[in-house]
């Protein structure tokens, strides 16, 4: 395949954009096996620590202010008034089964706003604490940025509840400072954001992975589509599209768009596609679509960067119904079964490692190259599949299948959205990216993953075996817990909530203990490049109690050939 080179400037910009690279899926009720609505999220970052956020429901006196911080740097951005009551939030799902995920797409650098008070992370948590439905979350988010300004670059949001899933894409308006004549303080004349929100039609699926995906959309007709000036109509069930009042006029003002309104594309105007965005972002969307839809090979020319005009649709109809376990499998994708599988080229080394350490783009002999950017990646902080079930009470119906570190080697644990505390091993403050904690889920899963990377072809098989065993059991546990909690809820909703909390806490802590024990077992089995003989998890000894001689598998032939090609007769035995 012909290699495609990127300019040095393009490589540097791409590397910066991918410092936080996330992948999100959206599945409507009609596309799921059990009628759940689902969204997913992977928080991929080299500095993001994996932990299960918890915000209890709380009442606040009038006049209370909340301080907001930039999620990417922890920089204080300012304060806004707090509402009198907030809903509880576990991870990124609240007690009403509203869930939110995201991915950063950046967009035109001229649109970055450095003066706003609310960044994408604050938007997510504020909406979760203040919304009972996906539609209400969109209203909250868009009203907040209109009033207080949007800080940062372009962002795609997955927003779901038990009945609907929406994609909201938002970018700032840039920074143009002016001085207020009365206060003499500076302000941004371009305060606010440009955005479009679209409901994914029932029976369809969607995805986004660090590139804006909304292209054309219907203009305001008062029936299916409204602009922000009519935002209160968003609760009418027929409304399927909402957008900022000036989403098109702003582009005309900047001379970025001159065509007809009906042909305006949000993505192409505010986040123009290039090779890097196709190959490293849209390719991950394609990988998900390709798992569930026929005919996706049609778009290989687009996602490989060869035909950037051949855009994929925002949503597609799957050829089968999808379960949470299916989405977990998609989170673990390394482009297996395609010509782009990174475990199959020489960069994988002798142990078929489907990862490449950063930087992802590199130069050699004056030319520029790249590695693929797969969905499963080593620098994931946490990821989840949010399952929202309309036929159950909210506190029982919402489940976040939550994992920390690399999705391909973690175990996803079911945490009910109505739980009133989180397990200590998954809680905020139990270690951080620079502080090891022996009781932390994040560090337990990192120990196993990083050990597996050393001899991936053999160690990952043990990881996958236990992974499957534990996730299979969790599915059975959830069925039993659902049934018991529903019975309890009929008589005592508070007791039902306590029951699901105890279940989630116990399972979360036991998972980490099991994984730490597994880490020790792997060390014994694979120490020093040997592979200890074992049966059913027990290491074998000879009749006298001495360890059985270990296995020492040979290197694969292609790696032997590589050594010989590079060294000639240096290691050839003399006869």
Phi/psi class of residue 23: alpha, beta or left (left: φ > 0; alpha: ψ in -120 to 50)? beta
Residue 248 CA: distances (Å) to CA of 141, 345, 509: 20, 45, 50
Phi/psi class of residue 152: alpha, beta or left (left: φ > 0; alpha: ψ in -120 to 50)? left
Instruction: Give pLDDT tens digits for 241-271.
Output: 999 999 999 999 999 999 999 999 999 999 9
Cα three-residue angle 495-499-503, rounded to 5 degrees: 170
pLDDT at 187: 82
Domain ranges for the chain, please list them: 8-370, 392-529, 534-567
Q: Which of 435, 430, 433, 413 is nearest to 514 (CA)?
A: 413
3-class state of residue 87 by DSSP: coil
pLDDT at 19: 44
How far is residue 467's CA from residue 463's CA, in Å, rounded to a whole number?
6
What average pLDDT does the structure give for the chain? Answer: 94
Instruction: Give pLDDT tens digits for 333-352.
Output: 999 999 999 999 999 999 99
Residue range 143-165: mean pLDDT, rounded: 97
Tokens for 213, please give them: 């995906």
Residue range 295-317: mean pLDDT, rounded: 97
Least confident of 19-28, 156-165, 304-313, 478-487: 19-28
Beta strands in 189-314 (DSSP E): 193-199, 205-208, 225-227, 241-243
User: Please, which pLDDT band fits residue 301 given cuts at 50, 70 and 90?
Assistant: very high
Percent of the chain topping pLDDT 90: 92
DSSP class of residue 320?
Answer: S
Q: Which of 426, 399, 423 is nearest to 327 (CA)?
A: 399
User: Please, which pLDDT band fits residue 180 given cuts at 50, 70 and 90?
Assistant: confident
Phi/psi at 320 (nearest 5 deg)? -160, 165
Say if residue 21's pLDDT is above 80. Answer: no
- Residue 476: half-sphere exposure toward Cβ, Cα within 13 Å: 6
Residue range 531-542: mean pLDDT, rounded: 96
Tokens for 21, please give them: 């690279």
pLDDT at 7: 39
Tokens for 510, please give them: 């036991």
Q: Which of 289, 224, 216, 280 is nearest to 26 (CA)?
A: 289
How far is residue 533's CA from residue 541's CA, in Å, rounded to a whole number?
8
How far is residue 161's CA from residue 200's CA, in Å, rounded to a whole number?
12
Q: End-to-end alpha-carbon separation of the chain, Å?
A: 42
pLDDT at 3: 35
For the purposes of burial, counting CB atoms within 10 Å of the CB of 477, is it exposed (0-12), middle (13-18) or buried (19 or more)?
A: middle
Residue range 536-565: mean pLDDT, rounded: 95
pLDDT at 6: 38
Residue range 293-313: mean pLDDT, rounded: 97
Q: Which of 86, 121, 5, 42 is nearest to 333 (CA)?
A: 42
In contact, 95 and 416? CB cutoff 8 Å: no
Residue range 27-49: mean pLDDT, rounded: 96
How far is residue 378's CA from residue 405's CA, in Å, rounded to a whole number?
7
How far is residue 495's CA from residue 498's CA, in Å, rounded to a whole number?
5
Instruction: Give pLDDT tens digits for 377-429.
Output: 999 999 999 999 999 999 999 999 999 999 999 999 999 999 999 999 999 99
pLDDT at 222: 72
Find out whether the peptide bond into 359 is cis, omega within 30 degrees of 0. yes
User: Please, which pLDDT band fits residue 80 given cuts at 50, 70 and 90?
Assistant: very high
Beta strands in 248-335 (DSSP E): 315-316
Say if residue 302's pLDDT is above 80. Answer: yes
Instruction: Give pLDDT tens digits for 449-461.
Output: 999 999 999 999 9
pLDDT at 294: 95
How far is residue 366's CA from residue 8's CA, in Å, rounded to a whole number?
10
pLDDT at 10: 41
Q: Which of 214, 278, 279, 280 is nearest to 248 (CA)?
A: 214
Q: What is the DSSP string of 486-537?
A: HHHHHH-HHHHHHHHHHHHHHHHHHHHHHHHHHHHHHHHHHGGG-B--EETT
User: Please, which pLDDT band fits residue 20 given cuts at 50, 70 and 90?
Assistant: low
pLDDT at 183: 83
Instruction: Report the 10 Å Cβ neighbour count for 227.
Output: 17
């Amino acid at each position: 395949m012909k290699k495609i080179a990127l300019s040095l400037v393009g490589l540097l910009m791409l590397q910066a954009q991918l410092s936080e690279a996330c992948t999100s899926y959206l599945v409507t009720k009609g596309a799921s096996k059990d009628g759940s609505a689902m969204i997913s999220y992977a928080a991929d970052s080299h500095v993001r620590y994996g932990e299960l956020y918890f915000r209890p429901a709380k009442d606040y006196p009038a006049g209370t202010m909340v301080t907001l911080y930039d999620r990417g740097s922890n920089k204080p951005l300012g304060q806004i008034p707090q509402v009198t009551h907030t809903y509880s939030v576990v991870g990124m799902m609240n007690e009403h089964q509203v869930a939110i995920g995201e991915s950063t797409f950046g967009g035109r650098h001229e649109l970055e706003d450095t003066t706003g008070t609310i960044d994408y992370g604050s938007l997510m948590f504020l909406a979760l604490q203040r919304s009972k439905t996906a539609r209400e979350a969109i209203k909250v988010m868009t009203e907040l940025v209109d009033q207080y300004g949007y800080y940062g670059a372009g962002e795609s949001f997955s927003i779901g509840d038990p009945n609907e899933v929406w994609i909201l894409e938002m970018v700032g308006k840039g920074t143009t400072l002016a001085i207020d004549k009365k206060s003499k303080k500076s302000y941004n004349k371009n305060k606010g954001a440009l955005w479009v929100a679209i409901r994914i039609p029932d029976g369809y699926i969607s995805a986004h992975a660090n590139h804006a995906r909304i292209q054309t959309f219907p203009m305001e007709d008062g029936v299916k589509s409204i602009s922000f000036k009519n935002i209160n109509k968003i609760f009418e069930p027929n409304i399927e599209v909402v957008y900022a009042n000036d989403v098109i006029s702003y582009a005309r003002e900047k001379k970025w768009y001159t065509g007809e309104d009906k042909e305006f594309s949000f993505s192409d105007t505010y986040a123009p596609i290039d090779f890097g965005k196709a190959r490293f972002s849209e390719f991950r969307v394609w990988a998900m679509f390709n798992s569930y839809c026929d005919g996706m090979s049609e778009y290989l020319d687009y996602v490989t960067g060869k035909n950037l005009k051949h855009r994929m649709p925002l949503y597609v109809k799957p050829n089968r119904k999808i379960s949470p376990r299916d989405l977990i499998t998609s989170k673990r994708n390394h482009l297996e079964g395609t010509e782009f599988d990174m475990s199959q080229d020489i960069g994988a080394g002798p142990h078929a490692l489907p990862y490449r350490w950063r930087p992802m783009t590199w130069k050699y002999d004056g030319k520029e190259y790249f590695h693929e950017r797969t969905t499963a990646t080593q620098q994931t902080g946490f990821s989840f599949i949010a399952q929202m079930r309309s036929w159950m009470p909210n506190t029982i119906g919402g489940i976040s299948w939550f994992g920390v570190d690399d999705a391909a080697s973690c175990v996803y644990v079911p945490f009910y959205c109505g739980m009133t505390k989180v397990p200590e091993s998954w809680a905020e403050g139990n270690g951080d990216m620079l502080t090891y904690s022996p009781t932390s889920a994040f560090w337990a899963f990192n120990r196993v993953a990083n050990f597996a990377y050393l001899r991936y072809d053999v160690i990952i098989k043990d990881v996958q075996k236990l992974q499957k065993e534990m996730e299979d059991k969790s599915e059975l546990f959830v069925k039993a817990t659902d049934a018991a909690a529903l019975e309890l809820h009929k008589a005592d909703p508070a007791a039902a909530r306590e029951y699901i909390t105890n279940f989630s806490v116990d399972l979360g802590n036991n998972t980490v203990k099991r994984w730490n024990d597994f880490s020790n077992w792997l060390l014994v089995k694979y120490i020093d490049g040997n592979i200890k003989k074992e049966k059913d998890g027990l290491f074998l000894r000879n009749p006298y109690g001495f360890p059985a001689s270990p296995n020492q598998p040979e290197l694969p032939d292609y790696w032997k050939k590589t050594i010989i090609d590079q060294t000639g007769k240096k290691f050839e035995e003399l006869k």
